[in-house]
C-alpha cells in the first residue's frame, strides 16, 4: 500500500532557528512529490514539485530536496509568517491520479 | 498561475437538508477534479475523482448516494451533500488538474457545519 509519513507532527522554532521537516514515502511508482503549505481554514497552497532523486528546489527561505525514499523541506531563518501546516503528497503511477497526502507538520515560529 | 475558486467558504445547514459546493477552475480547463475531506488536525482524505462528462469514482467507504458529484464541464464540478447529518460536518476541499505533468491546484475549502 502506498504510504506517506511526515515527521515531526509538530515543530516549534524561534525566529531565525533553521530546521528541516521530513517526508518519507513507500510507493509503487513515484511520478512526483509535492509540498504544500496550508493555513488554518484554507486550502493547500502549492510550494514545490520534485520528480527525481537528487532534485532540489528553493523559494525564499524554503528548500526542498528529494531522495529515493524521502524528501526534506529545509527552512532557513524562519519568520513568524512561516507558521503553517506543511503537507507532503505523492503522485504515483500515472498522470492525473489523486495525490496521496501525509498528515502534515504543523510549524510554529515565535518571535 | 492556475486558480480554483470554491464556494461557499462556509455553510451551516439543518440536519436532513442538502448542501451544494461549487468548484471552478478560472483560467484553465480541468480534465480531472478531486474532492477531499479534512477533519481537524488530520490530513486530506480523498473522497472521489471526477472526469468531465463521466461518472465520479468514489473511494472505498464514501457513500455515492450521499455525496453526489457532478463534473458537467471542464471548469465546474459540484459536490452535493444530501440529507446532511452532524457527522458530515467537516472541511471539504476540491482540487483540479489539467492532466499530464501539470500540478494540482486546490480550492480554498468549504467549512460545512450541520446542526
Side-chain half-sphere exposure of A110, counting CA atoms within 13 A: 4
* Cβ atoms of residues A34 and B103 within 8 Å: yes
- Inter-chain residue contact B43 with A99, CB threshold 8 Å: no
CA distance B97 to chain A (A): 7
CA distance B91 to B93: 7
Interface of B with A (CB under 8 A): 4, 6, 31-32, 34, 41-44, 46, 49, 91, 93, 95, 97, 99-101, 103-109, 111
pLDDT tens digits for range A33-89: 999 999 999 999 999 999 999 999 999 999 999 999 999 999 999 999 999 999 999
Q: What is the pLDDT of residue A12?
A: 98
A68–B contact, CB cutoff 8 A: no
Q: How would you class A71 by CB atoms within 10 Å of its CB: exposed for 0-12, middle for 13-18, buried for 19 or more?
A: buried
Q: What is the pLDDT of residue B52?
A: 82
Q: What is the pLDDT of residue A18?
A: 98
pLDDT tens digits for range B74-106: 899 999 999 999 999 999 999 998 765 567 899
Whether the pLDDT of residue B108 is over 90: the answer is: yes
Q: What is the pLDDT of residue A35?
A: 97
Q: What is the pLDDT of residue B28?
A: 85
**Closest Cα in chain B to A84:** B41
B4 CB neighbours in chain A (<8 A) are 43
Side-chain half-sphere exposure of A75, counting CA atoms within 13 A: 27
Whether the pLDDT of residue B4 is over 80: the answer is: yes
Angle at A89 between CA A85 and CA A95, to 5 degrees: 145
CA distance B82 to chain A (A): 23
Q: How far is CA B38 from CA A13, B89, B91, B93, in A?
A: 26, 10, 5, 8
Whether the pLDDT of residue B61 is over 60: the answer is: yes
Q: What is the pLDDT of residue B91?
A: 97
* Cβ atoms of residues B52 and B67 within 8 Å: no
A49–B contact, CB cutoff 8 A: yes
Q: Mean pLDDT for chain B?
A: 91
Q: Report the DSSP pairing between strands A62-66 and A10-14.
A: unpaired
**Closest Cα in chain B to A42:** B108
Amino acid at each position: 500500500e502506498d504510504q506517506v509519513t511526515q515527521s515531526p507532527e509538530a515543530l516549534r522554532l524561534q525566529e531565525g532557528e533553521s530546521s528541516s521537516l521530513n517526508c518519507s514515502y513507500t510507493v509503487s511508482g513515484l511520478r512526483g512529490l509535492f509540498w504544500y503549505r496550508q493555513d488554518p481554514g484554507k486550502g493547500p497552497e502549492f510550494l514545490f514539485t520534485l520528480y527525481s532523486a537528487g532534485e532540489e528546489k528553493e523559494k525564499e527561505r524554503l528548500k526542498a530536496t528529494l531522495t529515493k525514499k524521502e524528501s526534506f523541506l529545509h527552512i532557513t531563518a524562519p519568520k513568524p509568517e512561516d507558521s503553517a501546516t506543511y503537507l507532503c503528497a505523492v503522485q504515483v503511477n500515472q498522470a492525473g491520479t489523486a495525490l496521496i497526502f501525509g498528515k502534515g507538520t504543523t510549524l510554529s515560529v515565535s518571535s | 498561475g492556475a486558480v480554483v475558486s470554491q464556494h461557499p467558504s462556509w455553510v451551516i445547514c439543518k440536519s436532513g437538508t442538502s448542501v451544494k459546493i461549487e468548484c471552478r477552475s478560472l483560467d484553465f480547463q480541468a480534465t480531472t477534479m478531486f474532492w477531499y475531506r479534512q477533519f481537524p488536525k488530520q490530513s486530506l482524505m480523498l473522497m472521489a475523482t471526477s472526469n468531465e462528462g463521466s461518472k465520479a469514482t468514489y473511494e472505498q467507504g464514501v457513500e455515492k448516494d450521499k455525496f453526489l458529484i457532478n463534473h458537467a464541464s471542464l471548469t465546474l464540478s459540484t459536490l452535493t451533500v444530501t440529507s446532511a447529518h452532524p457527522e458530515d460536518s467537516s472541511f471539504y476541499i476540491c482540487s483540479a488538474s489539467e492532466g499530464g505533468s501539470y500540478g494540482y491546484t486546490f480550492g480554498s475549502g468549504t467549512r460545512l457545519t450541520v446542526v
